[in-house]
Amino acid sequence: MRFLFYDRVLELEKKRSIIGIKSFALSEEFHGGHFGKVALIPGVIFIEAMAQVLGWLICYSYDFELSCIMSLIEGVKVPAQLRPGFEARIYGEMISTTDKDTLGKAWMEVGGERVASIERIIYTHFRETHPEELAERFVYYSGRRDLLGDFRNRAPKG
């Protein structure tokens, strides 16, 4: 089973920023084994949601020619007791990037109030062997079919 911790991408600006959205429902799979009978969102879910959204910005920014793995996070703040039944906006920004890695930051807001953040998140890059498949997955997972045209219509490299 693949776990996605965002529902769709709302805005995307290459090599700059991304905004995604996630509705946290009581029916989420991860509620089954956490916190006894009290439904709370585990902090690691907030971290993973922010990491997934920012990771897609990196892949998109490099025309899906590379992929990335989160390798370091610092300055993490997650809520101690947030119950399901809300929608969060997930923000990610690229601070600096090279062919080998990207430094970024991410945060989540509920009703305009920041509820979680990562001050510093570093991704290590690796070459993608099937960029077309990665682009298709991004379009499918993000709900943004309009972005596939950007990828298919890009100028050939070289």
Model's pTM, two decimal places? 0.88
Separation CA 15–CA 61 (nearest Å)? 5
Range of the domain at 60: 8-151
Whether residue 111 is contained in a domain is answered as yes
Whether residue 156 is contained in a domain is answered as no
Task: Examine the residue annotation and report whether 130 is marked as an active-site residue of this protein.
Answer: no
Summarised one tens digit per residue, pLDDT across range 101-143 is 999 999 999 999 999 999 999 999 999 899 999 999 999 899 8
Question: Which listed residue (31, 34, 125, 130) is catalytic?
Answer: 34
Identify the CATH number of the domain in which residue 122 sits: 3.10.129.10
Whether residue 94 is contained in a domain is answered as yes
Q: What is the domain count for the chain? A: 1
